[in-house]
Amino acid sequence: MTESIASAAEVQGCLTKMAIAPGQGGEPARYTLRAGEQHLVLNERLGRSLTLTWTGAIACTHCGRATKKSFAQGYCYPCFKKLAQCDTCIMKPETCHFYEGTCREPEWAERHCFQPHVVYLANASGLKVGITRGSQVPTRWLDQGAVQALPVFEVDTRQQSGFVEMLFKEQVSDRTNWRAMLKGDTVEMDLPAERDRLLARLESGLANLRERFGHDAIRLLDAPPVTLDYPVLEYPTKVVSHNLDKTPEIGGTLLGLKGQYLILDSGVINLRKYTGYEVKVAA
Task: State pLDDT tens for residues 33-76.
Answer: 999 999 999 999 999 999 999 999 999 999 999 999 999 999 99
Q: Assign residue 181 a region: left if phi > 0, alpha if psi is -120 to 50, beta otherwise?
A: alpha
Q: Which residue has the higher pLDDT, 175 or 8?
A: 175
Residue 176 has pLDDT above 50, yes or no: yes
Q: What are phi and psi of 99, to 5 degrees?
A: -75, -10
Q: Assign residue 72 a region: left if phi > 0, alpha if psi is -120 to 50, beta otherwise?
A: left
Give CA 123 to chain center in angstroms.
Answer: 14
Confidence of residue 4 (pLDDT cuts 50, 70, 90): low
pLDDT tens profile 96-144: 999 999 999 999 999 999 999 999 999 999 999 999 999 999 999 999 9
DSSP reduced 3-state for 10: strand
Mean residue pLDDT of the chain comes to 95
Q: pLDDT at position 1, please?
A: 40
DSSP state, 71?
B
Domain ranges of the chain: 4-75+232-282, 83-114, 116-227
Beta strands in the chain (DSSP E): 4-5, 10-21, 30-35, 38-41, 49-58, 117-123, 127-133, 148-155, 218-220, 226-227, 249-258, 261-264, 267-270, 277-282
Please count the other Cβ atoms lying within 10 Å of the Cβ belonging to residue 104. 16
Residue 258 has pLDDT above 90, yes or no: yes
Q: Is the pTM of this model over 0.85?
A: yes
